[in-house]
Structure 1
């Protein structure tokens, strides 16, 4: 059982003891801390809240909404929604902040609170630290009877989200509609079953949904990795579909399956979306340090500049603003198009890739083959109380002192035509270990070599 209270919110497994797992006490405390921070900003008293389809979503939403109201804030509840939909709704509502109830790709026993500022963007590290200070210092004051907040349920925002995507000047909706795509969608028993069909209907796509009961009882591990998409792959083949679409529970991550059942690869979701956007006028791009080098190649092909950021949506968005990037995101299937909003959005990613396929008149496997070929291997090391991550990475830095190193976020070791990146996860009690090379054998060699060095350090 786990509880992670960090500058980006609170995430944990349901049940158990307060302070050790995600319990009612922890939820109320963190929500009240967030409410205190909101009131300190003088941006208003309205908060937009939405949730994914998790089993615990409703009971947590009831608790969180009541806490916000008892702190004197007015709640606009989107109900079953998506992370990017809440992000769009915050500025449309003129709200002071937003709150998303989702543990994203984590398994069903997890849930989380994710905090947004008045722009509908994830709060900064400094803001998160301020919220934690309010909690630790006991600076939580609830409203008197006459100042309790109000509540309003508004289920219209997924439709508004889709409308905003369709109205993008960069998108040729008619071209997608004429293409007549046949698609299989894995909705992972969450709100993708609501949001993705809403978009595909407007694009005149034929589709079959699998795992589309919004029960939160995920049919498989919800992270859209190849080993979790076998059912989708088989359905694409059996139906003779043009492609398969997989989203995570809160619909901010996106992965495709090719018409031949092969994996397009979540790393290439952003590459393809960027290829489309850059083809309409060029520009700069950003992804995190753990993302494929293929994005740099595609960006430079279109005459733009690529920059890398620390892992985490807020870090990528900050770097995008600094470099005037027209598109960016993360190699986990997260596409950020700032002309729409500054957050990962699977729906806009779907629209861009479908438009690219229609424009080029290619099968999606042919599109994948047109990009620089890289292989990423994604492993992890389970953390225990005995592991000092900072010490481990410092020791490893010494071992590889002759290599090009990047310490912006954990440790990234550059080899000849390959890299290995180690960093402590913000969402799970693990160290993520990623490696990329143009050949799987080479990537595997380097990740095994680095992990053997890690094992040796841990045995000291």
Structure 2
């Protein structure tokens, strides 16, 4: 497996050969390059970096390598230990740190891990800064500190609670209404740090929480991507426990999905739609999601008199467009909620608080809430890449074929038809091409996807 270097971080599988996988040497190499980049940003006496990790098996090893590398560069480390991606993002500015590193491969299986890199605002690096770090990593010209100038590690395991404190203080989080609603919720923490953080915020909100896979062992009980086919256990548990809803997060708690009271998926795409509907009912403004996200957000935004914009895929791209358009809420259709009043990062914990506030205020069932939104259905497929497959040429030929339709090439090729759309793009995190489609029925979305897959294979001669 080739080591993947992108705006999503430095990602790879554990073990194998240096440069081909995320080995200890690669972890040290990129951590030191990041440290050198930090020092280029500002000339000062002391540098501080916040480091946290999800619960995957390799996490402690990779974290120790990263932290000790930074110590060797004379950089002080605030060690959050087991944490969440949004918690580290919140901690960076609160600690007045120069940056942050999260050790997580997000929704990828357990053999994967990654270094996700943050700037001094607690936000993901843009492409330009990421390129600088990759250049430093390949230069072999990194200077380490002398013995009297080594950094120190300070452990702070309070930040999940501090993160929740920040959420509880938000104006739109209606804690009393949530408590009075007497919600009963099943939580699937996929045996990672969501099993720590999600029950904790539910407790603060006065919600009865039933835990499923909430031991942070790193042994994922199912594929950790929160998609319908992976969530049969919680769907059944919601029904047998007669719960009001189910809550599912990925290993680093930046993707959020809900299950309704009947054990049916609320729809990962509709997590952002529902939260945006609530926020826009209180704060007039604009929204942003990426090109692969549902049209339903556009519809809800326009209902509230706001303007909707679509960015290239990638959290950093969504955040930049949110800033450019002064969006009051945004995110990604994969269940990522970005609420700028708290911070510019996907955050399942604030998403939970806002969703439950919405549900408590409306005093309806989760299935009834879902029925209030336009019904779109998505099909998400992928084709494995091979060295001989020229993806750029394939996408160019698709673009040419559909030049009379509404086509965007901001990120891959997206074709907007009158009743549906298809988006083709190379993944930032895996060696695959993704095919996303959306239509007014699941059958239509699936059919459109299969037809496009046939077309791609025909063009590629496979």
- TM-score tier by shorter-chain length is over 0.9
1:369 to 371, 384, 398: 371
2:436 to 434, 437, 440: 434
Preserved CA contact (<8 Å) 1:424 1:431: yes
Preserved CA contact (<8 Å) 1:382 1:430: yes
Deviations 1:6-37 (A, max 9, x none): 34421000100001111011111000100000
Preserved CA contact (<8 Å) 2:338 2:346: yes
CA distance in 2, matches of 1:316, 1:433: 20
1:125 aligned partner:
127
1:305 aligned partner:
307
CA distance in 2, matches of 1:56, 1:443: 38
CA distance in 2, matches of 1:144, 1:392: 52
Q: Which consecutive residues of structure 2, in runs of 5 or more, have no partner in the other structure?
A: none
CA distance in 2, matches of 1:412, 1:19: 33
The worse-fitting range, judged by mean Cα deviation, of 76-85 and 385-394 is 385-394
Taking the TM superposition and a 5 Å limit, the aligned residue runs for 1:278-293 are 278-293=280-295
Deviations 1:225-250 (A, max 9, x none): 01111100000000000000000000
CA distance in 1, matches of 2:231, 2:397: 37
User: In 2 relative to 1, CA 421–397 (structure 1 residues): closer, same or farther, beyond 3 Å?
Assistant: same
Preserved CA contact (<8 Å) 1:8 1:125: no
SS of equivalent residue, structure 2 residue 191: coil
1:456 to 455, 458, 461: 458
Asked if 1:230 is matched to 2:232, the reply is yes
1:22 aligned partner:
22
Deviations 1:133-171 (A, max 9, x none): 111222211111111111101000000000000000122
CA distance in 1, matches of 2:394, 2:25: 34
SS of equivalent residue, structure 1 residue 164: helix
CA distance in 1, matches of 2:173, 2:68: 40
Deviations 1:396-448 (A, max 9, x none): 11222222110000000112210000111111111111000111222122212
CA distance in 1, matches of 2:14, 2:140: 24
CA distance in 1, matches of 2:303, 2:405: 28
2:49 to 43, 47, 50: 47
Preserved CA contact (<8 Å) 2:53 2:81: yes
Taking the TM superposition and a 5 Å limit, the aligned residue runs for 1:59-458 are 59-458=61-460
The worse-fitting range, judged by mean Cα deviation, of 361-370 and 6-15 is 6-15
Moved over 3 A (4+): none
- After superposition, the CA RMSD in angstroms is 1.0
Report how far residue 252 of structure 1 moved.
0.5
Report how far residue 282 of structure 1 moved.
1.5
SS of equivalent residue, structure 1 residue 113: strand
Asked if 1:6 is matched to 2:36, the reply is no
Report how far residue 276 of structure 1 moved.
0.8
CA distance in 1, matches of 2:205, 2:260: 19
CA distance in 2, matches of 1:67, 1:369: 52
Report how far residue 100 of structure 1 moved.
0.3
TM-score by length of 1: 0.99
SS of equivalent residue, structure 1 residue 20: coil
